[in-house]
Amino acid sequence: MKNVVFSFILLSLSFVSVSQPSSQYSWKYYTTGNTGILGDYSEVLWIDHEGNPYIAAYTPGWEEGGFSKFIQPNSQWINYSNVEYPVMGSTSDVGSSRISDIAEDSGGILWMATWRGILKFDPSVGGSSLMFWDANNSLHPGGRTLDIDVAPDGSIWAAVFYSTWGEGGLIHFDPTTNTWQYWGYGSTANNWPGLIGFCEQLSVQIKPAGGYTVWIDGAGWNTMIAFDSDTQLFTLLPQNNVAGEVVALPGNDCIDGEGNLWALRYTSPGNSFSLDYRTPEGTWVTPSQPSSVISDIWAFKAFGNHEALITGLNSEVFQFDGSIWQSKGIWRDGAYTYALDIDATGNIWVSGVEGAAKRDVVTGQWQRYRITNSSQIDYFLEDLTIDNDGNVWMTGNGGPGIGGFQKFDGTSWTGFNENTYGLGYPFPFPTDNTEAICYRPSNGSVVINPMFNFLHSWNGSSYNSLNYNHSRSRGLTEDSQSRLWSLGEYSELSYYNDANQTWTSVPFLGIGNGIRKDPERPGTVWACSGYEVLRTDGSYNFSKVVDDFQELDPQSDVLTTAIPAPGGISWVGSNKGLVKLDASNNTYQFFSPSNSAIPGENVTPLAYSPDGILWFTNFSSVDTTRIGLCWFDGTQFGIFPVEPGGLPHAQIPDMEVKEVQDGYELWMSCLSRGIAVLSIITTPVGITQPPITEPDLSIMNYPNPLTGRTTLNFSLMNEGLISLTIYDLNGKVVRDLVNTFCKSGPSNAEWDGCNNLGTRVGSGIYTCRLTEGKYSKSILLIVQ
C-alpha cells in the first residue's frame, strides 16, 4: 500500500478476508448537533465571568447536542456534544443530549440539569472532566431534571419531573461526601409531603443568620414547598387561595444579586397573580408589575439589585431596573423562549426554539445565532468541494425554506441562506436546497445548482448565471484546461466556454451519476450514468456501456460511479461488483464476491487517494452485516464497518480528498448523518509519525476468536471516567461492560459472550470500544 502506515487485523469471514487499520487514522464528525450552536432547540444559556455565553441546544430526532461556549471576540464556538463525549448520553435515547439548566458552584464547576440526569463540567479542564449521574449510578429517579441550584454549603439541589423513562421528585447531592438524598411520591423523610411526585423549579435563598431555604415548585399549580437547612425539614406552604400565598416560581433563576427570592403570589379571585420578591429577612415586596406577560411567563431571570428579565408568549423581552419594566424588543417572532441572562455590561441574551440572540446594550439591536449561521445545517447534504485554501464547501438544507450552501474554514461556518442574520450571505433562489457544488481553481469561483434553478457562480460578492439550459445538474467538475463540465439529469453532458458564455454538448446516454476530472489526460473527464461510462475531452471519446461487460445483464444491471486513476484507469462501480477499466488498452478486470475478497457486490467508488487506494462504499449489498466504507490497494480489500465512533453511515453520495501535512483526509457526506472525515497518516520513507489516535489509550484481548469468555486488557495514562462497550456491526449496543471512573494504569474486564439480557450472542464480528472523554479506541472480536 505504498507509504501508508497501517496495522491490520485480519479477519476470516468464510472465504473472504477483510482488513481494517487499527491505528494511524482518526474520525471526525460535523453535524447539526455538534457544531456551532448544536441545534435549533436551545433551552439554556448561562454567561460566564468574561461575558461569554454557554448555550445548550440539541437536534430532536437525531438526539445530538449538548452545550457550547461562544467566544465572542473570536466568533468561535467551543462544542461539547454527546457525539464526541458519549458520557453525556446515547444518541439512541430521547432527551440524552438535552440540558434544562446550568448552575455554577464556588469552585467554578458547572452543574447541569439534563433530561436524563445531572452533568458535571469543569471549564478549566474541558471535556475530560465531564461526569454524569442518573438512575443507573445514583439515587436520581431517572426522570427529566428541569432545574438545578447550588447551596451555600456546596451541595446540589435538583428538581426532577416525571417522564416516560423515569420518576420525578427532589434530589440533593453532596459532592464532598458523594452522598445522595431523594424525595418523591410516597416519601415522608424530613417531612416531605408524600403526595408530591415531581418538581418543576427550585431556588436556594441564603438566610441572614446562616443556613438557607430551598424553595421548591412542586407538581401542578399552587404546590410550593420550603426546605429549611437548619431544621432539615420540608414545609408544604398554605394552599387556601388567600392573598399573599406563594403559588409558583416564575422560572429557574429566581434569586437576584441581593439574595431576594422572586415568586408569584396569589392576589384575589379573578385577578392576575403578582410577581413579588422576598428579602432574605423574610419581607415581601410588591414592585411594579410586567402586566403584559404576567399571565403567560415563558422565561425569567432575577439578577442585580432586585432586577429581573422576563418574556412571554410573543418573545418580547422586558427588563426591570428596580423601578419600572421596559421593553427591550422582540428577539424573534413566535413562542417557546426558554432562557434569559444578562452580562456585566448590560447585553441581554435569550434562547429558545430557533436558537439564541444577543441584544447589544449600545445599539439596542438583536443579533441572532442559529444553525443557519453558526453550524453545519444538514444531515442529508449531497455534494462537497474543496478550494485551494482548504475550505470545504457543501450543499445544505436546514428545513423548509432554510437552505442553500455553506463554507467551513476549519473553525467557523459561513452560511449562504435566507436566515444568516447578517453573519453570512443571501441565497436569492426560489428553492431551499442546492444539489451540486464545485470550486473552480481557474478563477476562484464556486458554481452551484440550486434545485431546479440552473447553474450560477458565486465570485465572493455576487451570483452570476452561467446560462445553463437545464434546471438540474447531477455533477460538476473543472478539467485541466479550466473548462467547467456539467453532467445533466437525462443523457446530457456539456462543457462551458467562459469567453462567450456558451455550452457545448457531448453525446452521452443515461441518467447521470457522477463526473470527475482525469488526473493526467489534458482537458479530459470521466462521466458515468447507470448505462454508460465515458472518458472524453469533447472530441476524443472512450465509452463503455453495460452491454460491454459480460458479467452484467443489460436488462437489469446498472453502473454507479466512475473514479479515475493515473494511467488511463477508471474504477467503475455496479450492482454486481467493481470494474477496473483501462482506457489505454481497452481492457477491464471485474471484481465480485465470487472471484475476490471484495466485501459486497453493490459497489459505488468514491475517491482515489494520493497513496494509490481506491475508496468505495458497498451500501445496499446483500450481506448487510458487512456494510461500510471499503478500500482496495490493488491487492487487498478492507472495510470500515458502520459503528459508533467510526463510520456513521455507509450511504455516501460524495467523497472529496483533502491533502494535509503527513497525509490526507477523506471528507464524505453520509446521508442522515452529516459529514464524516477520515484522517489518514502517510509517512515518507525513513520517518516515523506518531499515531493520530490518543496514545494514552490501549486495549487488547485474549483469546480472539472466542468460543467462551475473553479477557479485555486496557490501560489509561490518566485517570478518568471510561466506558467499555460491545457493539455489533450495525452499531447496536450488545453489552455495556464498564461505565465507571478508572485509575491510571492497566485494568481489565471480562466478556462472557452474552448481551445485556444475559443471552449468548451469535457467531460473527463485534466491536469492543474503549472511551475516555472524546478519545476512544476499538478492537474487533470474533465470536465462534
C-alpha cell at 336: 417557546
CB 667 within 8 A of CB 689: no
CB 576 within 8 A of CB 601: yes
CB 238 within 8 A of CB 216: no
Lowest-confidence region among 56-65, 69-78, 226-235, 770-779: 770-779
Q: With bands split at pLDDT 50, 70 and 90, how would you rate the model's confidence at 696? A: low
**pLDDT tens digits for 185-222?**
999 999 999 999 999 999 999 999 999 999 999 987 67
Query: Is residue 16 over pLDDT 70?
Result: no
Q: What is the pLDDT of residue 12?
A: 28
Q: What is the pLDDT of residue 729?
A: 67
Query: Is residue 558 over pLDDT 90?
Result: yes
- Which helix H or strand E contains 20, and what residues bound it? strand 16-21
Q: What is the pLDDT of residue 690?
A: 36
Query: Is residue 685 over pLDDT 70?
Result: no
The number of helices, as runs of H, and strands, as runs of E, in the chain is 1, 65
Q: How far apart are CA 453 and CA 447, in angstroms?
A: 12
Q: What is the pLDDT of residue 730?
A: 64
Mean pLDDT score, 251-265: 97
What length does the chain have?
A: 784
Q: How far apart are CA 759 and CA 272, in angstroms?
A: 59
> How far, in whole angstroms, is CA 556 from its chain's centroid?
39
Lowest-confidence region among 289-298, 664-673, 751-760: 751-760
Query: Is residue 37 over pLDDT 90?
Result: yes
Q: How far apart are CA 197 and CA 193, in angstroms?
A: 9
Query: Is residue 292 over pLDDT 50?
Result: yes
**pLDDT tens digits for 742-774?**
777 888 888 988 988 788 888 877 888 888 765
**pLDDT tens digits for 400-434?**
888 899 999 999 999 999 999 999 999 999 999 99
Task: State how beta strands 99-104 and 76-81 pair.
Answer: unpaired
Query: Is residue 335 over pLDDT 90?
Result: no
Q: With bands split at pLDDT 50, 70 and 90, how would you rate the model's confidence at 693? A: very low
Query: Is residue 604 over pLDDT 50?
Result: yes
Backbone angles phi, psi at 127, to 5 degrees: -60, -30
Share of the chain above pLDDT 90, in %: 78
Q: What is the pLDDT of residue 715?
A: 82
Q: What is the pLDDT of residue 285?
A: 97
CA angle 230, 232, 237 (to 5 degrees): 100
The 10 Å CB-count burial string (b at 16+, else e) for 116-134 is: bbbbbbeeeeebbbbebbb
Query: Is residue 20 over pLDDT 70?
Result: no
CB 121 within 8 A of CB 80: yes
| Closest to 371 in 3D by CA, of 2, 35, 769 | 35
Q: How far apart are CA 229 and CA 212, in angstroms?
A: 6
Give the dihedral sign, CA 420/424/429/431.
negative
CA distances from 643 to 1, 30, 670 (A): 25, 16, 13
**pLDDT tens digits for 159-191?**
999 999 999 999 999 999 999 999 999 999 999
Q: How far apart are CA 442 and CA 481, in angstroms?
A: 9
Q: How far apart are CA 194 and CA 464, in angstroms?
A: 70
Q: What is the pLDDT of residue 678?
A: 95
Q: What is the pLDDT of residue 772?
A: 75
**pLDDT tens digits for 68-102?**
999 998 889 999 999 999 999 999 999 999 999 99
Reduced to 3 states (helix: H, G, I; strand: E, B; else coil), residue 104 is: strand
Q: What is the pLDDT of residue 13?
A: 28
Q: What is the pLDDT of residue 5?
A: 36
Q: What is the pLDDT of residue 703?
A: 84
Q: How far apart are CA 761 and CA 582, in angstroms?
A: 45
Query: Is residue 694 over pLDDT 70?
Result: no
Q: What is the pLDDT of residue 728?
A: 78
Q: What is the pLDDT of residue 774?
A: 56
Those residues with Cβ within 8 angstroms of residue 256's Cβ, 6 or more apart along the chain or in another chain: 262, 277, 302, 303, 304, 305, 306, 307, 308
Q: What is the pLDDT of residue 644?
A: 84
Q: What is the pLDDT of residue 697?
A: 64
Reduced to 3 states (helix: H, G, I; strand: E, B; else coil), residue 385 is: strand
pTM of the complete model: 0.84
Q: What is the pLDDT of residue 3?
A: 38
C-alpha cell at 461: 460578492
Those residues with Cβ within 8 angstroms of residue 296's Cβ, 6 or more apart along the chain or in another chain: 312, 313
**pLDDT tens digits for 563-584?**
999 999 999 999 999 999 999 9
| Closest to 453 in 3D by CA, of 414, 395, 410 | 395
Q: Residue 444: beta bridge partners?
A: none
Q: What is the pLDDT of residue 691?
A: 37
Q: What is the pLDDT of residue 8?
A: 32
Q: How far apart are CA 497 and CA 255, in angstroms?
A: 68
Greater confidence (297 vs 694) lies with 297
SS3 for 122-148 is CCCCCHHHCEEECCCCCCCCECEEEEE
Average pLDDT over all residues of the chain = 91
Those residues with Cβ within 8 angstroms of residue 773's Cβ, 6 or more apart along the chain or in another chain: 85, 87, 127, 128, 130, 720, 721
C-alpha cell at 304: 442585580
> How far, in whole angstroms, is CA 410 from its chain's centroid?
16
Cβ atoms within 10 Å of 93's Cβ, excluding its own: 13
Query: Is residue 268 over pLDDT 90?
Result: no
Q: How far is it between the farthest Cα atoms of the chain?
A: 96
CB 570 within 8 A of CB 533: yes
Q: What is the pLDDT of residue 706?
A: 83
Lowest-confidence region among 367-381, 436-450, 742-756: 742-756
Lowest-confidence region among 314-318, 627-631, 772-776: 772-776
Q: How far apart are CA 625 and CA 744, in angstroms?
A: 36
